[in-house]
Chains A and B, each alone.
Chain A
Amino acid sequence: MILNPLNKLFLKRLSFKRPAFLIFICIWVFTGCSSTKTLESIEDQEIQYSLISVIHADANYLFHENGVSKKADKVALKKLIALAEKAEHGEVFIFHQKPERRAFLFFPKKDRVYYHYKNGILVNSGKYSPTDGGFTKESELYKALSQNPTSQKTYFAYFGHEIPTFTNRAYHRSSPEMEFSTEIFSNHLQSFSSDIALTILSTCNNGSPLMMERLKDVTQTVIASPQNLHLSYLSLDKFELLESKPQISTHILADSIAQDSFSKLSSFLQTMVTVAVYSLDETRDYTTALSLKYEQHLKSVKAKPLFTNNADCKNIELLDSVMDTTGVNIYFKPASFGRKAGDSTHSGWGCKD
């Protein structure tokens, strides 16, 4: 290769031995974690609630509705932005966990995006890179930017595929080495707040005894599906009640969201629809015993392919002695076809079988 003098000079300057080059690399790496753009500065107004939402997009989220292809994460993002713009008395965080690309294998490109709305106005947005498979980076950003860190009313919503029971499957496709599991989810949820009024899991199969046991000290109420959930997800439209009825109880809000989601999903789905509300103050009395038995049961099914649809826990013999449904309110529509088309009830608890 023939190099002209200018190229030779450039390559010489690019040498790894040069301190300037090393400093440049260091700056690139350390500033590569996040960037914030303050878009609008608004006068302090009362923040009555915080909604933190995380949309996972680092996997296949394609689905079809009336023959039209849609990406679940993009649909969820659009809906959350519309909700955030109407949240005049609250603040809304949206973390869009897009696939992480790397420049030259090592350097993160900061593909994840966050949006921070305050009183219905977008005040901050930026790009960031994850530091792990959980929510470490997201919670750091939340703590740094939130106007209401001690809010008594904090809500959390997660949109994505089933949060795995164990760390034995690559959840983040672009970074398979980053682990994610029920344990990681519940631990990292505490880093946002240790007192979350309502957690919404818009995922498949996470209405399980193990998940509720892990969440019982972090959140008061959970909405989740004990079975598969269509990628059109649970609807958060009823969050508008926080604006029209600010004194609404968490229980009534949760029930409204669950009922509305169930009604919307049931209107077009031929598959089974299950949306459950778990009052963890009531379920905590028995979830320890139930989840311990369930973990015992899981040892026998662990070898089977994961991510298969749950079974109703009431049909698992080993759990008979500890089975309880106190504090669980389930909205259930059986599938129109398939072996389970004849089912008329569901306990609200989903288990691997």
Chain B
Amino acid sequence: MKKFILSILTLAFIGVISPINAQTGIDAEAKFKKHINSMVNSVEKAEAPERKREILNDSFDDLIGAIEKVETMKAIPNADKKGLTTLKNDIQNKKDELNGVNGFSSVPNNNLNNFANFVQQDMEQADTVTIGVTTLLLIILILILL
């Protein structure tokens, strides 16, 4: 009888936690998107172009820094490392464009709000974050701690 009750309880536990894994992935991506959204809100609220530029640069640096920290972790699977590199390059490109380096013309002061929206729309429009849940959670954790 005890074995039977234990089996029922185990099934119930697995039944309860099984949808959590899929949901955790979706929640992690949502947190990432919310982080970008708060950056866009801050840029739009700031009045001086210098401040807008500073917020964008800081946000890009935070993201690149978090990705680099996660990249060096031994437990990160190779497939995720490729995804991290793609994501990092994409953010670096956006930072280069903001500052007018590596072949880009600098984003004009009167276009910084639109640029912040471009960053958000580009990241949200596709299922582009091709890294695993754990890796993404690590990035979010580091971003929170920064």
Contacts and interface: CB of A to CB of B under 8 A. Distances in A.
A338 interface: yes
Contacts of A338: 93-94, 97, 118, 122
Contacts of A176: 22
A305 B86 contact: yes
Contacts of A174: 19, 22
Interface size class of A (residues with CB under 8 A): 35 or more
A306 interface: yes
Interface string A73-105: 000000000000000000000000001011111
Q: Is the interface of A mostly helix, strand, loop or mixed?
A: loop
B86 A308 contact: yes
Contacts of B120: 64
A159 to B, nearest CB: 13
Contact of B22 (A11, A64, A173, A307): A173
A161 B127 contact: yes
B97 A337 contact: yes
A11 B25 CA distance: 37
Contacts of B130: 305-308
Contacts of A60: 25-26, 29-30, 33, 127
B117 interface: yes
A105 B11 contact: yes
A64 B122 CA distance: 11
Contact of A228 (B5, B41, B94, B126): B126
Nearest to B85: A305
A19 interface: no
A102 B15 contact: yes
A241 interface: no
A204 B94 CA distance: 21
A262 to B, nearest CB: 15
B52 to A, nearest CB: 14
Nearest to B12: A104
A228 B117 contact: no
B126 A309 contact: yes
A28 interface: no
Q: Is the interface of B mostly helix, strand, loop or mixed?
A: helix
B114 interface: yes
Nearest to B11: A104
B118 A335 contact: yes
Contacts of B114: 270, 336-337
B83 A305 contact: yes
Contacts of A308: 86, 128, 130
Interface string B1-34: 1101100000110110011001101100110011
Contacts of B1: 3, 11
Contact of B125 (A59, A63, A336, A339): A63
Contacts of B115: 270, 336-337
A161 B25 CA distance: 16
Interface string A320-353: 0000000000000001111100000000000000
B5 A1 contact: yes
Interface size class of B (residues with CB under 8 A): 35 or more
Interface string B37-58: 1001100100000000000000
A103 B15 contact: yes
Contacts of B23: 99
A309 B125 CA distance: 10
B13 to A, nearest CB: 9
Contacts of B22: 99, 173-174, 176
A35 to B, nearest CB: 20
A105 B18 contact: yes
Interface in A286-323: 304-309
Contacts of B97: 337-338
Contacts of B37: 64, 67, 69
B19 A102 contact: yes
Contacts of B94: 337-338
Given A67-B40, A105-B14, 4 more contacts: A63-B125, A204-B125, A229-B125, A339-B93
5 contacts: A62-B30, A104-B14, A174-B19, A306-B130, A338-B118
Interface of B: 1-2, 4-5, 11-12, 14-15, 18-19, 22-23, 25-26, 29-30, 33-34, 37, 40-41, 44, 82-83, 86, 93-94, 97, 107, 111, 114-115, 117-118, 120-122, 124-128, 130
